[in-house]
């Protein structure tokens, strides 16, 4: 009973911090305030040693809501741009390899990391998969965890600010137009959750988010459901995701944080610089907006980049397709490089 009361207290503190972060970011007109505000404030509290956590049920529901939000923005016009995607996929694959190689050798030369730690710390994405691999190698698990979490946090903050510097309005939340009625929304939530759980059983990356998106795309393109996810549901979902990103730093010792945070920032800056170069290169050949390509190429978390796409009005199908493609590449690339390193 005492444990349950303590867990409830932790949850209340965490969600209150997320709400406060959203309010402050909204007041200061931060880009994507529902995501960046909670992520910043909750990270600060986590680093300060405050016990924080987001309940699994709330986390899962938020992923489904974000997925549904993404699907409502998909229109038949999306298929007109699909013919431009092959070149984009090729450039994304090259950029992933460049980021991986550059970060690995920078970590080995500048931070003197051993090969397994450098390889897993420099992998641009697939966080849960990489942390799983790190438990099976000689890599420094706490260091890898902090570096990877820093990358996700920093890119969640950097991408909206970069888009804002390009002159786009990044303070709006939600999509324009009519919202879904309450009954279709409730039914969609339940069925999308079930589809997401099915995908999770099939080991699909970001299963709940993709389940929500797939369900929403099908029902909206077939006109079974109309309208966008209402703001009263979408904004808390985005804020929960931002809060969840911040809680990744809970329980990290100051010694580990001091040792790995600088390396994490370096990895992030290298990844972001390479992303900008390849995104800029792509838009020279195809008629796609640079902010959309930047969101699709940035090696942040799938869920966080998908949320950024929805908030900033980018084509969610394009963005998610590229992030899933990045995860597929890393699924084979990281173990292959590890195996080669072990043989040397």
Rounded CA separation 207/204 (Å): 5
Strand ranges for the chain from DSSP E = none
The predicted structure's pLDDT at residue 156: 94
The predicted structure's pLDDT at residue 125: 87
The predicted structure's pLDDT at residue 3: 55
Vertex 252 angle, CA 249 and 254, to 5° = 115
The predicted structure's pLDDT at residue 62: 95
User: Which parts of the chain sit beneath pLDDT 70?
Assistant: 1-3, 73-82, 172-177, 344
Tokens of 42: 């909750």
Buried b (16+ CB within 10 A) or exposed e, 283-298: beeeebebbbbbbbbb
User: Cβ neighbours of residue 128 under 8 Å, at least 6 residues apart?
Assistant: none
Tokens of 318: 């394009």
User: Cβ neighbours of residue 84 under 8 Å, at least 6 residues apart?
Assistant: 286, 287, 288
**Residue 285 three-state SS:** coil
pLDDT digits (tens, 9 = 90+) for 107-137: 999 999 999 999 999 999 888 788 877 877 8
The predicted structure's pLDDT at residue 5: 82
CB 123 within 8 A of CB 334: yes
- If we measure between CA atoms, which residue out of 71, 73, 88, 69 comes closest to residue 288? 88
Other CB atoms within 10 A of residue 155 CB: 25
Which residues is 228 bridged to in the sheet?
179
Phi, psi (deg, nearest 5) at residue 149: -65, -35
DSSP string, 153-164: HHHHHHHHHHHH
Tokens of 232: 């009263």
- DSSP-derived letter for residue 250 is T
The predicted structure's pLDDT at residue 4: 83
Q: What is the CB-side half-sphere exposure of residue 10 using CA atoms within 13 A?
A: 16
pLDDT digits (tens, 9 = 90+) for 69-80: 888 766 555 555
């Amino acid at each position: 009973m005492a444990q349950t009361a303590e867990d409830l207290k932790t949850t209340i503190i965490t969600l209150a911090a997320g709400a406060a972060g959203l309010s402050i970011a909204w007041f200061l007109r931060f880009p994507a305030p529902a995501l960046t505000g909670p992520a910043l404030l909750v990270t600060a509290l986590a680093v300060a040693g405050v016990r924080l956590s987001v309940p699994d049920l709330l986390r899962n529901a938020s992923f489904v809501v974000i997925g549904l939000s993404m699907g409502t923005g998909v229109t038949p016009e999306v298929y007109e741009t699909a013919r431009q995607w092959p070149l984009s996929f090729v450039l994304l694959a090259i950029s992933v390899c460049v980021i991986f190689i550059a970060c690995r050798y920078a970590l080995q030369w500048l931070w003197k990391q051993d090969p397994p730690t450098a390889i897993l710390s420099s992998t641009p994405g697939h966080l849960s998969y990489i942390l799983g691999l790190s438990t099976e190698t000689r890599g420094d698990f706490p260091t890898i965890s902090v570096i990877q979490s820093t990358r996700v946090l920093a890119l969640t903050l950097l991408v909206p600010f970069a888009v804002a510097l390009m002159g786009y309005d990044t303070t709006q939340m939600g999509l324009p137009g009519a919202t879904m009625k309450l009954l279709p929304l409730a039914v969609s939530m339940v069925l999308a959750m079930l589809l997401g759980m099915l995908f999770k059983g099939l080991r699909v990356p970001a299963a709940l988010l993709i389940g929500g998106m797939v369900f929403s795309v099908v029902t909206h393109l077939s006109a079974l459901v109309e309208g966008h996810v209402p703001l009263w549901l979408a904004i808390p979902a985005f804020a929960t995701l931002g809060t969840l990103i911040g809680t990744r730093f809970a329980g990290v010792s100051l010694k580990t944080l001091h040792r790995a945070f600088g390396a994490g920032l370096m990895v992030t800056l290298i990844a972001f610089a390479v992303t900008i170069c390849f995104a800029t290169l792509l838009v020279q050949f195809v008629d796609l907006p640079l902010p959309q390509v930047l969101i699709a190429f940035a090696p942040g978390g799938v869920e966080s980049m998908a949320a950024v796409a929805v908030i900033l009005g980018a084509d969610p199908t394009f963005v998610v397709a590229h992030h899933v493609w990045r995860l597929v590449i890393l699924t084979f690339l990281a173990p292959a490089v590890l195996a080669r390193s072990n043989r040397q």
